[in-house]
Amino acid sequence: MLGYSFSAAAGPLPRDVVAEVSDACRDWRGLGSVLALSFVAEDYRELQQGVETRLRRLLAIPKQFKVLFMAGGASAQFALLPLNLLAGREAAYVDTGHWSRRALAEASRYGKVRCIAMSDERFGDPDAWDVEGVAYCHVTSNETADGWQFEAMPVVSVPLAADMTSDLLTRPMALDRPALVYAGTQKAIGVPGLTLVIVHESLLGQAHPATPRVMNYGAQAAAQSRLNTPPVFAVFVLDAMLRWVEQRGGVAAMAAAAQRRSSELYAALDCSDGFYRASVARAQRSRVNACFQLHDPALSDAFVAQARARGLSGLQGHPQVGGLRVSLYNGTPDAAVATLLDFMDEFRRAHG
C-alpha cells in the first residue's frame, strides 16, 4: 500500500526529487556524498548560485533584492526581523492566526509592537490598517494552523514583511509589494533546516548593534550567505525542487495544481450535508492548508486512525486549534488527494 502524508509541518517531496537526492547521498558529481559537501568548495558555490538564479527566475525577483540562505527556521526570523529592521522604532503586526501571533509575541521582546487586530472577516481592508510611522508591517500570508490565506499580498504605505513559509512558490508573488519575504523550505519547496530571506537592499544596514553577525542580514548579504556554514544539504534539496517546479511549468503550474486540489477537497466538505464543516469562509480559505471539523467532534480520533490504516497520515489539526487539516503542498500528488476523497466519502457513509 502506497502511503501519503498530508502533514502541515513538512511537505512531501516528489518521487523524482527523492530519487535524485537519494542518488546524491551516495555520490554527487563523483565527489562522494552530497552530505559531506563543504560550503567553501567551488562546487557548493556553483550550486548555491544556481539555486539563486533559478529562484530569481521563478519568482521574478528584482535585482534590488538580496537572497539570503539562512539556518534556524522561520521562527528564528520572528526575532531576526526586529533585530535587523526595528532600529528603535515601532513595528505593526497583523493578527490573522496562530503563527502571526507567535511572530508578534517574539518581536515584542525586542521593541515596541503595534497589533493590528483583524475583524470577523479576518483579512479586512489594508487601507484601514494603522501603520503610520512604523518601521515595517508584518503579515503571515498563509496560516497553516487556522486555514486562512491572503488572496493577494496586501499593499501598505510602509515596508511590508511577509512570512510565506507555507505558500512560497505555490502561487505567483509580486515583489513590488513586500520589501522582505522569509520562508522555511520544509513545506512546499524542500526539507527542514533552510530559511530563505528575500530582502530589499534598502533595508540592510539597520541591524541593532547587538545582533550576532551571522544573524545580520547586511553581513550575510555581503558574505553571499557564507559568513557561517549554510544548510548545505537543504540547499541541494531546494535546487532539486526548483528544477522540478520549472520542469512542470513554474509557479503558475503550482498555483493551478493547488487551486484544483483544494477546490476538489472543499467541494467534498461543502457537499457533505454538514458531516464535514470547513473552518473558514470561502473567501479566505487556504489553498494549501484546509482546516475542517466533523459534525460530531468525537469521531475525529476514529477518522485519523482509520485514515492512517489506509496509509493517509498527518490529518490532525494543530494541537492548539484542534479539528482536522489537509495540507496540499507542491509535492502532494493528485493520487493522494483522490485517495483521501475516496476515504472521506466512505467514512461519511459509515458514520453519517
Active-site positions read 99, 163, 187
CA of 294: how far to CAs of 252, 277, 299, 316, 339, in Å? 33, 6, 7, 12, 19
